[in-house]
Amino acid sequence: MARISILGSLAMFTVLASGATPAVARPLVNGSFETGVAYSGGPNIFSPGTPAPWYATSFTPDLYDNTSADGWGIGGIPAYDNMFKGMVACDGHRFIGFAASTDFGGINESFAQQTAPLIPGNQYTVSACIAADDLGKAIPYGGPYYGRGEVNVLLDGNFIGKLTQNTASLTWESRSFTFIAPASSTAVFEFVAQLDPFNPAPSSYIALDDIQITPAPGTLALVGLAGLVAGRRRTRPGGGV
- What is the block-wise mean pLDDT of the chain (241 residues), using blocks of 10 residues? 40 39 66 97 96 98 97 96 97 98 92 96 97 95 93 98 96 98 96 92 94 79 45 48 42
Residue 5's pLDDT is 41
User: What pLDDT, on the 0 to 100 scale, is given for residue 233?
Assistant: 45
Provide CB contacts within 8 A for 17, sequence distance 6+: 217, 220, 221, 224
CATH superfamily of 22-216: Galactose-binding domain-like (2.60.120.260)
Question: Over the stretch 65-101, which tens digit does the pLDDT of each residue have?
Answer: 999 999 999 999 999 999 999 999 999 999 999 999 9
pLDDT at 26: 67
| Report field, pTM of the whole predicted structure over 0.75 | yes
The full set of domain ranges for the chain reads: 22-216
Give residue 23's pLDDT: 40
Q: Return the pLDDT at 113.
A: 98
